[in-house]
Amino acid sequence: MKFVDEFRAPELIGKAGEEIRRLADPKRHYRIMEVCGGHTHAIYRFGLKDLLPANVELIHGPGCPVCVLPMGRIDDGLSLTAKPDFIFAAFGDMMRVPGTHGSPLEYKARGMDVRIVYSPADALKLARMNPEKHVVFFAIGFETTAPSTALTIIRAKTEGIRNFSVFCNHVTIIPAIRAILDSPDMRLDGFVGPGHVSTVIGCRPYQWIASDEKKPVVVSGFEPLDILQSIVMLLRQLRNSEAKVENQYKRVVPWEGNSAALRAMAEVFELRPYFEWRGLGFISQSALKIRNAYAQWDSEQRFYVPGVRVTDPKAAQCGEVLKGVLKPSQCKLFGRECTPERPVGALMVSSEGSCAAHYNYSQHRPVMIEGVAAT
């Protein structure tokens, strides 16, 4: 099987665009949030905004784990590189994220032992390969990634590997959505629900958004047609004054989620009372910490970390952008002081961050096939 570089059912993309224009009431303005950074990236890449009528606005949500991580956590994690015989392992996405004294990559350039791994299991493998050293895995991610970290910690315990610990920054998506809905300057009509997070948590955890907040949620795939179909499904619900959770991404997301993944998470993690999110501030019970039974594998319980709090650079307006109050290009630093090559704010670092996506695709034409919108 190969990678195939063409759209699924391109003729349907145009039809979905038409259906959106038919369903959108011209007297209303719709604000739909896509929660997941992968969707944000896809929306910019395919120029989907151009297929939507002006009164259907997409607001980019908080679902980019690199972007919502406060700088203080990066500083705290990197502080462990100062210990002799420590290896700091993290995903490639983290390597260019600036801390107060530089990014992990810059620490590496200064001689610290910083390694890129593609899996938490490989951070554990590093520990097996280097028994004289201690490996810290800097864990980030939503529920998509957290089960893999959990299982890796279980494996470390089972094998009795003691020169390995996790600096845990895993966050959970539901409290972030709740914080956004509680925010007084936000008015949203519905949500495009995250795709891969939902393979783990399923669709049930979004039920309260429909039943209590009366906002529709459609869990969506990542192709142009998926996202447009999800918007059609949202608009259809809104037109019928309905609020339900629907699953557009059935080919991958089971309604119940992944029971083994949820069990692994529950075994290893518990909720932190609160956690700071970049741009959103402190959110109650929005992040995971390692349970006492696994304290041996928790970098924070095992070693001293300073607990740094760093306020974002004043001029950077990451918070407003993250909440969808400002568009990326409305930030004073956008494209001048802050670019993907030299990011000031975290939204510029990851390709899933709305600023990087906006920067990359507003200069080059999006990939959407010419003429599809008109068909």
Partner 1 sequence: MCLAIPGKIVELDALNPQLAVVDVVGVRRKVDLGLLQDDLPVLGDWVLIHVGFAMSKISEADATDQMRTLAILGESEAAMQEVQGYGLENEVRHRERREPGP
116 touching partner 1, by CB under 8 A: yes
66/235 with CB nearer partner 1: 66
Please report how the helices 120-129 and 146-159 are oriented relative to each other, as an axis angle in degrees rounded to 10.
30
Residues 331/316, Cβ–Cβ less than 8 Å: yes
For residue 358, CA distances in Å to 86, 159, 197, 237, 315 come to 37, 45, 23, 29, 19
324 touching partner 1, by CB under 8 A: no
268: Cα separation from own chain's centroid: 21
Q: In what order do the strands lie in the sheet with 86-90?
A: 114-116, 86-90, 134-139, 164-168
Bridge partners of 338, per DSSP, are 334
Is residue 160 packed enough to be buried (19+ CB in 10 Å), middle (13-18) or exposed (0-12)?
exposed
Q: How many CB atoms lie within 10 A of CB 374?
A: 8
Minimum distance from residue 243 beta carbon to partner 1 (Å): 26
367 touching partner 1, by CB under 8 A: yes
6 touching partner 1, by CB under 8 A: yes
348 touching partner 1, by CB under 8 A: no
317 touching partner 1, by CB under 8 A: no
222 touching partner 1, by CB under 8 A: yes
d(CA 350, CA 333) in angstroms, rounded, equals 17
State the number of CA atoms in the 13 A half-sphere of 171 facing the CB: 27
Stretch binding partner 1 (CB under 8 A), from 115-123, 239-247, 280-288, 338-346:
115-123
Stretch binding partner 1 (CB under 8 A), from 85-93, 104-112, 208-216, 288-296:
85-93
Stretch binding partner 1 (CB under 8 A), from 52-60, 72-80, 147-155, 167-175:
147-155
91 touching partner 1, by CB under 8 A: yes
Relative to beta strand 164-168, strand 56-63 is: unpaired
341: Cα separation from own chain's centroid: 21
Minimum distance from residue 222 beta carbon to partner 1 (Å): 5
Minimum distance from residue 195 beta carbon to partner 1 (Å): 8
User: Which H or E run includes 89?
Assistant: strand 86-90
263-302 mask for partner 1 (x: CB under 8 A)? Answer: -x--------------------------------------
Minimum distance from residue 239 beta carbon to partner 1 (Å): 29
Given candidates 17, 35, 37, 230, which one binds partner 1 under the rule CB under 8 A? 37
24/74 with CB nearer partner 1: 74
Minimum distance from residue 41 beta carbon to partner 1 (Å): 7
Please report how the helices 146-159 and 259-268 are oriented relative to each other, as an axis angle in degrees rounded to 10.
60
65 touching partner 1, by CB under 8 A: yes
Is residue 35 packed enough to be buried (19+ CB in 10 Å), middle (13-18) or exposed (0-12)?
buried
Tokens of 60: 């980019």
* Degrees to nearest 5, angle at CA 65 with 64 and 66: 95
Given candidates 17, 38, 61, 343, which one binds partner 1 under the rule CB under 8 A? 38
Given candidates 144, 172, 299, 354, which one binds partner 1 under the rule CB under 8 A? 144
370 touching partner 1, by CB under 8 A: no
Q: Is 167 helix (H, G, I), strand (E, B) or coil?
A: strand
118/304 with CB nearer partner 1: 118
State the number of CA atoms in the 13 A half-sphere of 211 facing the CB: 5
23/231 with CB nearer partner 1: 231
20/200 with CB nearer partner 1: 200
Residues 137/89, Cβ–Cβ less than 8 Å: yes
The contact set with partner 1 (CB under 8 A) reads: 1-8, 36-38, 41-42, 45-46, 64-66, 91-93, 115-122, 125-126, 129, 140-141, 144-145, 147-148, 151, 155, 195-196, 199-200, 221-224, 251-252, 254, 258-261, 264, 350, 352, 367
